């Protein structure tokens, strides 16, 4: 099994303000996770053409990449409309990931950012992705891992009171609102990848439990932002720098240090289609 590279040196200040760019358009807790993930992609060169599997509204690709991704694919029409407005893709397609409408060995690379954990038939999707990737193609993706549910702070509070039934109920509840189908360890993902014709080159856990608390409680403190989104179509009414400065100062505590951690609740994977 490929081991993670947690001993890599601490990264310097990112050249691009991924956190600020996310904060202007997304809830703060989602912004923190996506900004951390955007930094990881900068260490890799994605050969063209690239497929974004589960591109959603296109916001992540618009922020994380300097070039247009060749194809963004998603099963939902609403997010694809938003993605079209952002212009981060050369082509957008509404399709099931288990039935990608391209021939064999079409793409030279692929990404899937925080998507695969939501897909019930994930094995079929990875198998189909392997079909449309060229031999040697790089596949980068990230998902929550087996440490995610155990690290939820409210569940831990119930556990400390020996109310383990309530702790389990809360973990099920949070998993449901997060729409998680899979929170698996690297061994499980490596097996899936191997079965679909991939080689796992590297992986690392990131986003320690302290950062997860920002995300967990943000789901509740961020409810007013959800109302704003329903009424205005935007998560933040005022997108100027002065309105996010205080959030940036707070979140930088979690964003700027190296987010990689053995206790991290998400995992970033680097895989390659076998020759």
125-157: per-residue pLDDT in tens?
999 999 999 999 999 999 999 999 999 999 999
pLDDT in tens, 64-105: 999 999 999 999 999 999 999 999 999 999 999 999 999 999
Give the tens place of pLDDT for each residue, 9-39: 344 455 799 999 999 888 898 999 999 999 9
Pick from 274, 271, 273, 275: which is nearest to 1 by CA? 271
Structural domain spans, the chain: 18-273
Q: Residue 25 corresponds to which tokens in the numbers above?
A: 């358009």
DSSP string, 237-253: S--SHHHHHHHHHHHHH
The mean of the pLDDT values for the chain is 91
pLDDT over 90 percentage in the chain: 80
pLDDT digits (tens, 9 = 90+) for 37-48: 999 999 999 999
Judged against a pLDDT cut of 90, whether residue 260 lies above it is answered with yes
Give yes or no for residue 190 having a pLDDT over 70. Answer: yes
pLDDT of residue 8: 40
User: What pLDDT sits at residue 246?
Assistant: 83
Q: What share of the chain in percent tops pLDDT 70?
A: 87
Hey, what are 166's tokens? 């309530």
The percent helix, strand, coil of the chain (3-state, each to 5) is 45, 20, 35
CA–CA gap between residue 89 and residue 73 (Å, rounded): 10
pLDDT confidence of residue 26: 87
Does 7 have pLDDT greater than 80? no
pLDDT value of position 234: 61
One-character DSSP codes across 64-98: H-SS-EEEEEES-HHHHHHHHHHT-EEEEEE--TT
The values of phi and psi at residue 16, to 5°, are -110, 145
Looking at the predicted structure, is the pLDDT value of residue 1 above 60? no
pLDDT at residue 223 greater than cutoff 90: no
Where is pLDDT greater, at 247 or 18?
18
Give the Cβ contact number of residue 48 at 10 Å. Answer: 12
Mean pLDDT of 194-212: 97
Residue 169 has pLDDT above 90, yes or no: yes
Residue 142 DSSP one-character state: E
DSSP 135: E
Round to whole Å and give the CA distance between 131 and 107.
10
Flag whether pLDDT at 4 surpasses 90: no
pLDDT score of 36: 97
Give the domain 18-273 fold.
Rossmann fold (3.40.50)
- In contact, 109 and 46? CB cutoff 8 Å: yes
Query: Is residue 123 over pLDDT 70?
Result: yes
The residue to which tokens 């694919």 are assigned: 73
Q: What is the pLDDT of residue 10?
A: 45
Q: What's the burial of 211, exposed, middle or buried (CB within 10 Å: 0-12/13-18/19+)?
A: buried
């Amino acid at each position: 099994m490929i081991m993670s590279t947690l001993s890599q040196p601490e990264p310097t200040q990112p050249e691009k303000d991924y956190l600020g760019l996310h904060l202007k358009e997304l809830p703060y807790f989602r912004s923190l996770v996506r900004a951390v993930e955007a930094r990881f992609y900068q260490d890799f060169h994605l050969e063209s053409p690239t497929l974004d599997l589960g591109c959603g509204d296109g916001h992540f690709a618009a922020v994380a990449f300097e070039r247009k991704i060749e194809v963004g694919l998603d099963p939902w029409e609403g997010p694809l409309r938003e993605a079209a407005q952002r212009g981060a893709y050369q082509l957008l397609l509404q399709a099931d990931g288990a039935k990608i409408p391209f021939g064999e060995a079409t793409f030279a690379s692929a990404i899937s950012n925080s998507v695969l954990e939501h897909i019930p038939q994930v094995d079929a999707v990875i198998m189909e992705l392997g079909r449309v990737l060229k031999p040697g193609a790089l596949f980068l993706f990230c998902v929550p891992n087996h440490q995610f549910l155990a690290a939820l702070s409210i569940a831990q509070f119930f556990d400390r009171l020996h109310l383990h039934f309530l702790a389990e109920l809360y973990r099920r509840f949070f998993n449901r609102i997060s729409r998680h189908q899979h929170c698996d360890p690297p061994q499980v993902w490596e097996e899936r990848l191997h079965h679909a014709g991939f080689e796992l080159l590297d992986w690392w856990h990131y986003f320690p439990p302290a950062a997860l608390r920002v995300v967990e409680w943000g789901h509740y403190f961020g409810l007013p932002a959800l109302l704003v989104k329903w009424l205005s179509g935007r998560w933040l009414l005022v997108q100027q720098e002065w309105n996010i400065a205080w959030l940036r100062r707070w979140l930088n505590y979690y964003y700027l240090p190296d987010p990689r951690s053995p206790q991290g609740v998400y995992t970033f994977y680097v895989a390659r289609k076998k020759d």
